């Protein structure tokens, strides 16, 4: 992957999906999304140095994927 927007949008989409049906209004969802994005970005920083570059190896036979370079 080599797309900073793709990284950001993927994280945002996953967070929004997890909040769907939570009963939060839009402003509350924005605040929760921001905080969760910070936490998730900290965890993902192990693999994403600059938020845009990641090399993975996909094994279709085994059905696995692993990070080979970040």
Helix H or strand E segment including 4: helix 4-19
Parent domain of 52: 4-69
pTM of the model: 0.62
What total of structural domains would you count in the chain?
A: 1
The full length of the chain comes to 70
Give the pLDDT score at 50. Answer: 67
Please check whether residue 68 is in contact with residue 57, taking contact to mean a CB–CB distance below 8 angstroms. Answer: yes
Tell me the per-residue pLDDT of 26-60, one tens digit each, with 9 for 90 and over. Answer: 999 999 999 999 998 888 787 676 665 667 777 87
Give the pLDDT score at 28. Answer: 95
Give the pLDDT score at 29. Answer: 93
For residue 32, how far is the Cα from the chain centroid?
15
Please check whether residue 50 is in contact with residue 61, taking contact to mean a CB–CB distance below 8 angstroms. Answer: no
Helix H or strand E segment including 64: strand 64-69
Arithmetic mean of pLDDT, 61-67: 85
Beta carbons within 10 angstroms of residue 39's beta carbon? 10
């Amino acid at each position: 992957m080599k797309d900073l927007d793709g990284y950001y949008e993927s994280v945002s989409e996953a967070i929004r999906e997890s909040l769907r049906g939570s009963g939060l209004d839009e402003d509350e969802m924005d605040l929760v999304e921001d905080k969760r994005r910070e936490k998730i970005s900290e965890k993902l920083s192990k693999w994403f140095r600059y938020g845009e570059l990641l090399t993975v190896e996909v094994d279709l036979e085994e059905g696995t994927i692993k990070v080979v370079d970040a």
